[in-house]
């Protein structure tokens, strides 16, 4: 039905602005508009082919943009045609452009000619912390150093995404921060904290650019300030891009509008979609209201028909939240699970899901559990209870620290045993765990502990494993354990010799250990993801280290680099999210997610379980707003951002969340509430009125079987 609306797509149809609510068909409309555009373009190419030189007309490709990586992959598959196409996220496109046109930038900025290297956030944090200490050696009082450095770096990212110059940041913060918000920056300096933060950002930005290191904040800043205004770059854009199809503009940074304005002034065919109930990344570099102003110059197509349960109950739920006295009872499609303790709530939710799946009321793939903040207790409880009943569970974008994996801890222990000077990073417990993992359980934890106690030679400079005969009762360990230990010891000693003879790098050693000791071919998907992320992190870390040594020959010793790498992972700042992250084995699983991740995925389920419905975290949407983010919006009033302003913003976000989730539930919503939270405090959040007005689940009523 929707495709029939595109028969009249013509040159006069562009630029096109598609405005709609959740799941109203915006992306489908955009995809069909793309296909019609391609058909029209191919027809014109047939006419051009009769001329002498049609090649100039065929060079340009279509730029397709999506809000995040998951949506980009979906959109890329949807519009995949035999036509030149560039499908990116806004940040991905801007990053590629800065990297590709780096020669233009180092000409402008008079920099050393070297290929740019993008910094990961965790590497950015570590390097910035080291630089911070060299300029501000005094200890910070009242706040952790890591949090303060991250906050200051986020200011650079916010300014870059908003198109605000660094020199304007102090004025902006002076005008907009309340006295309570200023406390954080006063930890730098009680009188000049804001100015000191700006000075550090200037130092950090120049330090990185001089070495060809690019963080996300610096990439944004270079793009809007230096690259996009450059006439040479603009000429290249005009030659390369023949049309723009951008989905979900409500999640784009403000500087994306500058790019789109350029295309519109060049009469490039453009199609945009916008969801007024979206704005998922508001407070995280997105500026939806600024992007919405593009609509004034476009032909507007409106798709405002609510989908899912939003079509019937959206107004009812919103009104009951705003005025809890308004509603006495909710419809049968919205039920609840209510308990006193959270542990009972988690158990009862699992029982309801198990019963529904076993009685074939619903498939696991049609169920999602959504929480404002998904803690480890809830994640473990659901995975343990459901998988025990052969119901697979897939945590969405699970960001567990790499160091939480025994495989990673084992490999880090190996590095510390092979390279000299790292003995302080190795404990007997770590050695015992390494023996269990590398022996593939031939050495049990008890035997591993006994071996580590007797055969691990503690030495700050040259830690080592001694022959098994060092243990007086080694003959009692058994043949399998003895053989496995001997093989591990032989491998470590062999690698030590190769390192000295051939200069093996840590990355080479990690690669050999994974292939020869761990046998990666027999690992599960989540274990492979952890190892892949470890290798990606290690490769990036040593690329940065090599770049710093090129610029500073006396940077630090290789041993210091390995020690810092091990400590970085042990701090838990790096998670297992390698690229790509699709797990095809869990396509039929119950989805487990926080609000932010689920909304970002832009999918739908028959049943939604709203975990911790009474939690006060629901208005936050499952993601923390960056420090000072409201001040970097283009429509900011210029007045101090007060707690009252924040409360209004949270209330508006909560309404968008409710409308969005309702549009993604097609059959039922189960409100899951416990009087006490995981910390034992009473849960009296803004959605408590919905729980009180809902019918509590006793037994599953017979519904249409799958």
Q: Tens digits of per-residue pLDDT, 67-98?
A: 998 899 889 888 877 678 899 999 999 999 99
pLDDT band at 57 (very low <50, low <70, confident <90, very high): very low
Domain termination site, one of 240, 269, 303: 303
Residue 220, in any domain of the structure:
no
The pLDDT score that the predictor gives to residue 585 is: 46
Q: Tens digits of per-residue pLDDT, 591-611?
A: 999 999 999 999 999 999 999
Q: Tens digits of per-residue pLDDT, 447-497?
A: 999 999 999 999 999 999 999 888 887 778 889 999 999 999 999 999 999
The pLDDT score that the predictor gives to residue 56 is: 45
The pLDDT score that the predictor gives to residue 188 is: 87
Domain termination site, one of 269, 288, 303: 303
Query: In terms of domains, do 386 and 438 share one?
Result: no
pLDDT over 50 (residue 58): no
Interval 317-343 mean pLDDT: 86
Do 68 and 38 form a contact (C-beta atoms < 8 A)?
no
In percent, how much of the chain has pLDDT > 90?
65
The pLDDT score that the predictor gives to residue 6 is: 45
Query: In terms of domains, do 408 and 506 share one?
Result: yes
Question: Model's pTM, two decimal places?
Answer: 0.91
The pLDDT score that the predictor gives to residue 669 is: 96
Q: Tens digits of per-residue pLDDT, 12-37?
A: 678 999 999 999 999 999 999 999 99
pLDDT over 90 (residue 225): yes
Query: In terms of domains, do 350 and 368 share one?
Result: yes
**Least confident stretch, 358-367, 420-429, 467-476:** 467-476
Query: In terms of domains, do 243 and 96 share one?
Result: yes
The pLDDT score that the predictor gives to residue 223 is: 96
- Please count the structural domains in the chain: 4
Interval 420-432 mean pLDDT: 94
Query: In terms of domains, do 406 and 516 share one?
Result: yes
Query: In terms of domains, do 564 and 421 share one?
Result: yes
Query: In terms of domains, do 498 and 435 share one?
Result: yes
**Which domain, by its residues, includes 198?**
117-211
Q: Which has the higher per-residue pLDDT, 410 or 109?
A: 410
Query: In terms of domains, do 336 and 269 share one?
Result: no
Query: In terms of domains, do 406 and 527 share one?
Result: yes
Q: What is the mean pLDDT of the chain?
A: 88
The pLDDT score that the predictor gives to residue 430 is: 95
Do 704 and 666 form a contact (C-beta atoms < 8 A)?
no
Residue 38, in any domain of the structure:
yes
The pLDDT score that the predictor gives to residue 373 is: 85
Residue 223, in any domain of the structure:
no
Alpha-carbon span 388 to 407, nearest angstrom: 24
pLDDT over 50 (residue 705): no
Following DSSP, what letter does each residue of 224-272 receive, concatenated? IIIITT-HHHHHHHHHHEEEEEE--GGGSBTHHHHHHHHHHHTT-EEEE
Query: In terms of domains, do 407 and 553 share one?
Result: yes
Residue 176, in any domain of the structure:
yes
The pLDDT score that the predictor gives to residue 238 is: 92
Alpha-carbon span 259 to 526, nearest angstrom: 39
H-only helix segments in 138-181: 145-162, 169-176
Neighbour-count burial of 77, counting CB atoms closer than 10 A to its CB (0-12 exposed, 13-18 middle, 19+ buried):
exposed
Interval 157-175 mean pLDDT: 95
The pLDDT score that the predictor gives to residue 289 is: 96
pLDDT over 80 (residue 501): yes
Q: Tens digits of per-residue pLDDT, 536-587?
A: 999 999 999 999 988 887 678 888 999 999 999 998 777 766 655 555 445 6
Structure tokens, 624: 């923390």
Residue 141, in any domain of the structure:
yes
Residue 106, in any domain of the structure:
no
Structure tokens, 118: 């993008």
The pLDDT score that the predictor gives to residue 577 is: 64
Tell me: cis bond preceding 580? Omega within 30 of 0 counts. Answer: yes
Query: In terms of domains, do 52 and 96 share one?
Result: yes
Residue 221, in any domain of the structure:
no
Query: In terms of domains, do 123 and 59 share one?
Result: no
CATH of the domain at 607: 3.40.50.300
HSE, CB side, 13 Å, CA atoms: give it for residue 411: 29
pLDDT over 70 (residue 529): yes
Residue 577, in any domain of the structure:
no
The pLDDT score that the predictor gives to residue 9 is: 56
Domain termination site, one of 540, 570, 600: 570
Interval 414-420 mean pLDDT: 94
């Amino acid at each position: 039905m929707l495709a029939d609306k595109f028969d009249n797509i013509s040159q006069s149809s562009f630029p096109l602005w598609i405005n709609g609510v959740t799941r109203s068909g915006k992306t489908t409309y955009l995809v069909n508009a793309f296909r019609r555009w391609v058909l029209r373009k191919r027809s014109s190419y047939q006419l051009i082919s009769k001329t002498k030189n049609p090649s100039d007309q065929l060079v340009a490709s279509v730029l397709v943009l999506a809000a995040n990586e998951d949506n980009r992959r979906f959109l890329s598959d949807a519009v995949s045609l035999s036509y030149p196409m560039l499908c990116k996220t806004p940040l991905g496109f801007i990053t590629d452009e800065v990297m590709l046109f780096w020669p233009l930038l180092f000409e402008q900025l008079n920099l050393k000619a070297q290929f740019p290297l993008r910094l990961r956030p965790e590497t950015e944090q570590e390097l910035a912390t080291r630089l911070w200490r060299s300029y501000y050696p005094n200890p910070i009082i009242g706040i952790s150093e890591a949090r303060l450095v991250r906050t200051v770096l986020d200011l650079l990212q916010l300014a870059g995404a908003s198109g605000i110059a660094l020199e304007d940041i102090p004025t902006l913060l002076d005008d907009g921060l309340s006295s309570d918000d200023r406390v954080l920056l006063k930890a730098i300096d009680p009188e000049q904290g804001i100015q000191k933060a700006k000075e550090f950002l200037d130092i950090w930005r120049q330090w990185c650019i001089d070495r060809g290191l690019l963080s996300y904040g610096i990439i944004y800043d270079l793009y809007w300030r230096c690259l996009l205004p450059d006439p040479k770059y603009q000429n290249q854009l005009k030659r390369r891009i023949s049309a723009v199809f951008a989905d979900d503009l409500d999640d784009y940074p403000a500087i994306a509008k500058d790019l789109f304005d350029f295309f519109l002034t060049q009469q490039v065919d453009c199609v945009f979609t916008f969801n007024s109930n979206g704005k998922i990344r508001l407070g995280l570099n997105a500026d939806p209201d600024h992007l919405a102003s593009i609509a004034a110059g476009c032909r507007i197509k409106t798709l405002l028909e609510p989908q899912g349960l939003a079509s019937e109950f959206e107004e009812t739920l919103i009104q009951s939240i705003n005025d809890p006295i308004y509603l006495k009872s909710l419809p049968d499609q919205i039920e609840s699970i209510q308990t006193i303790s959270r542990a009972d709530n988690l158990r009862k939710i699992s029982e309801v899901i198990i019963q529904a799946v076993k009685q074939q009321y619903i498939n696991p793939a049609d169920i999602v559990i959504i929480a404002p903040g998904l803690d480890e207790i809830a994640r473990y409880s659901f995975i343990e209870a459901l998988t025990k009943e052969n119901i697979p569970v897939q945590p969405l974008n699970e960001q567990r620290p790499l160091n939480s994996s025994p495989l990673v801890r084992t490999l880090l222990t190996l590095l510390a045993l092979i390279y000299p000077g790292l003995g302080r990073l190795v404990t007997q417990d770590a050695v015992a765990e390494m023996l269990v993992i590398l022996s593939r359980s031939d050495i049990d934890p008890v035997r591993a502990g006994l071996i580590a106690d007797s055969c691990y030679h503690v030495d700050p400079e040259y830690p080592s494993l001694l022959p098994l005969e060092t243990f007086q009762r080694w003959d009692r360990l058994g043949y399998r354990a003895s053989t496995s230990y001997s093989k591990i010891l032989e491998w470590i000693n062999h690698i030590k010799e190769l390192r000295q003879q051939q200069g093996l790098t840590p990355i080479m050693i990690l690669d050999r250990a994974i292939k020869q000791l761990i046998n990666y071919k027999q690992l599960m998907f989540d274990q492979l993801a952890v190892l892949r992320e470890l290798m990606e992190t290690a490769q990036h870390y040593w690329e940065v280290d090599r770049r710093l040594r090129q610029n500073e020959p006396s940077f630090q010793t290789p041993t210091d680099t390995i020690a810092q790498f091990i400590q970085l992972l042990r701090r838990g700042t790096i998670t297992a999210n390698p690229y790509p992250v699709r797990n095809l084995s869990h396509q039929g699983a119950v989805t487990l997610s926080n609000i932010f991740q689920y909304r970002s995925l832009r999918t739908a389920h028959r049943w939604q379980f709203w975990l911790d419905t009474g939690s006060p975290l629901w208005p936050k949407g499952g993601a923390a707003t960056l420090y000072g983010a409201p001040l970097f919006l283009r429509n900011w009033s210029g007045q101090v951002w007060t707690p009252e302003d924040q409360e209004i913003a949270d209330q508006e976000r909560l309404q968008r969340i409710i409308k969005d989730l309702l549009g993604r539930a097609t059959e039922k919503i189960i409100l899951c509430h416990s009087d006490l939270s995981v910390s034992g405090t009473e849960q009296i959040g803004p959605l408590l009125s919905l729980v009180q007005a809902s019918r509590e689940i006793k037994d599953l009523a017979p519904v249409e079987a799958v």
